[in-house]
Structure 1
Amino acid sequence: MLFWHSHPETYQQHAQNNYIRDALAPFLKHEEEQQSTEIGESPFHHVLCAATSPAVKLQDETLTYLNQGQSYEIRMLNRKLVEYTDISSKCIKSIVRVVFHDRRLQYTEHQQLEGWRWNRPGDRILDIDIPLSVGIMEPRAHPLQLNTIEFLWDPDKNASVFIQVNCISTEFTPRKHGGEKGVPFRIQIDTFSAGEHGEYTEHMLSASCQVKVFKPKGADRKLKTDREKIEKKSPQDREKYQPSYKTTVLTECSPWPEAPSVSRTSNTPSPGYHIAHTSYSFPEENCSPDQQGELHLPRHGDAILLLFAMFSSFCRLFSGFSGSDLLKMSREDFIQICGPADGIRLFNAIKGRCIQPRLTVYVSQLQNRNQLHTKAAGEDVYHALYLEDLTVLELTEKIANLYNAPSQQIRHVYRQGPTGIHVLVSDEMVQNFTEESSFIISTMKGNFMDTDWASCLSSWSYVVKIAIAHAQKNSVEG
C-alpha cells in the first residue's frame, strides 16, 4: 500500500492485479455473476478504504462507519487495465458528493444544507486531502457547493483520492435529550469523459455507498460494538448477516441530477447546456436575479432542468411549458400533475432556483413635470423592473405593482418619439428596449388621448406613456 502511494505509475502488472483484487475482494466473492455483466458495461470501479459493518443483514445494502474529519482513501480502479489498452488516454472527470440516503431528507435537502451552513460558517461538508491523494489533477471544491468536490484522473493509471467528511449524522436529526440516531449519508461518484467540444459531459459511471459519520473515534467504537453484538449471536443467526470487509465497494447507481459538473472546465460551452462557475446547487431561497445561484433556462431547451434532475419521465408532460411557467406553478400544482412524491421533489428542485431576466429596466417617479428635461442622472432613486416575457402586458403589470395602481385600468402604453409624437408601444417595441434603460414617470393635470389618467415613462431620449381609465380627470405626461 505504501508502494501504491509513492509510485502508482511504476506498478508492474502482477502488482496491479493484486492491488485491484485485494480492494475488490468482497465484490469478487459475493457478486461473481453480477460482476461479469457489469464489467461488460464499465471497467471502472471505486473502492472506499473503510470497513463495512457486520451488523447488516444479507439482503440489505452495506453500511460503512466514518470518523468526522478523518481522511479516507477512495481508489479509482480500472478493472481491465491489464487486460487491454483500448481505453483512451484522455483524462476523465469524477465528481464526489455526500448526499442524504433517506428520501424524507432528500425532499428538504436545500433547507437542511442551508441550516448546516448557517450553524457552521466557513466549514465544508466534504473536503479533499490533496497531499495524500495520488494520480489526480485539477482538484476543485466550489465555495458554495459544500458537499461536492471534483478532479481529473487518467484511466490508464489507477488513481487514489482522500476525502474528509466534516458533518456528522446526528446533525440532521431532531434534537431530543441525547441518544439520537444519526441519519445515513451516501457517498456518490459520477464519472464523465470529454465530449467533442472538450466538456466532460459523456457519462461513464455513477456509483455510491451508504455511510454514517460519527465524531472522532466514534466510528471505531461503533464498529467494535457491532462485532461484539454479532459474536454473541448463535451461528444460525450470524449466517443472516453480512461479513465485515476491510473495504467498501461502491455499487452502480443513477447519475446525480446536477451532473456533469460543479464548475466550467473549458471556455467552450457544452453541446446543449452548460453550468456557469457560479454555483446553483444551493442558492438562496429569495435571491435576486443578479445574485449567484441563478439558473439560465434557454427558451430552446426548457426541458433541460427536468432532464438533468432525474425527472426525464415528465419531459413530455411539460413539453408545452416554458421555464417561466414552471417557476410560476405552486406546490399543489406539481403534486396534482406528478403525484405526491415526485411533485414535491420537482417543486423543491425548481423553487430553489432563480431565473435570470431577459430584460432589466429602471424607473423613477418625477414629482414635477418641469423637471423632466432638466433632471440630471443620479439625482433620484430608481426601481428595477425584471421582464421575462417582453410584452406590453408584463411591463404594464410591473409598473402597476410598483406604484400600487390597478393594472386592469391601464389601457395603453405610449412612447414619445421625435418632435414629441406619441407612438403606441407594441410587444415588438418592448423586445427592442435597450438593456438597463433608465425611465422617468411624471404626472400632470389635464386630459390626454380621451383618457382619465395617464402615466409617463421616459429615458433621456424617449418617453413611454400609460393611460389609466376610471379615475378623476387628470393626465400624466413626460
Structure 2
Amino acid sequence: MKPLYCSDGGDVKVNSPPCHSPGAILPDLPQAAEDPDKNCGLSKDATAPETQAWLARHRFTQHVPTFTNFSGADLLRLSRDDIIQICGLADGIRLFNALHAKRIEPRLTVYVCPSGCTVYSVLYLHACRAAELLHKLRTLLPPTSKIVLNKKIKHYLHRRIEPRLTVYVCPSGCTVYSVLYLHACRAAELLHKLRTLLPPTSKECDTVLVSGPNGAPVRLTDELVRHLPDNSTYRLERIEDDTLLLSPTGN
C-alpha cells in the first residue's frame, strides 16, 4: 500500500491511510540466517555512502534515492511508522526489521581443531545438515583436503531437528540396527524410511504390518505410528512380495 502525499499551503505532508494497522497486518519477523551481514543491523556510524550500499545489499535499491543524504544514525532514528509512511507498508516493515535485526542463534555450535594445530575454531550451524558442516570444515583445511563425515555425525546432525518418534530397525539377516527419525509420524513416512533399508528388488513393497498381541498382524496406520513407543526396536522382514512385517524385539 503506497503512502498518500498532499499539499497544504506549500507544505508537503505524508498521510498514511487510517483504515489499516501495520502491526495487525504484518508482524515483525526475524531476518534469514543465510547471509551473515543480514544478521546485524545498519551501524549508527555508517556514512551516507555506506548507508546507500547497505540499502542496496538488502534489496532496497528503489529507496536509495529517497535516503541519499541519510547516514546510518539518521536512518536508525526513524520510527517504524516513519519508515512505513516513506516506503510503503511491505517494504517499510522489511526495512525496519533489517535495520533492527537481532542475532539469530545457531541451532548447534561445535569447536574443531585441525590435526597439527592447538587452537580450536568455532563453527555455528543453523540448518544442522551434513552439507553445511562439510562446507564449514573445508574452510579450516587446505583446498586439496578430502573430508568424509562419520555416519554417527550425520545421524547426530539429523537428530538436532527434534523428531517426534525414534525407532530402531534391524532387517532380517542383519545384526546391526538402523535408527529412523520420524517427524510427521505418518505411515507413509515410516514406509519410505523402511524401504531405504531394503535391497532394490524389495522396494516395491507398499504394505507394512506390525506384529501385535499374540502375534496378530496389524496394518500400519497413521494412528498406530503415533502410538508406537519412542526408542523401540523392531525386526523387519518381507513376508510377501509387497508386504513387510515389523516385529518388536526385547529392549
- Considering the TM-score relative to the shorter chain, is it more than 0.5? no
TM-score normalised over the length of structure 1: 0.26
TM-score (norm 2): 0.43
More helix by share: 2
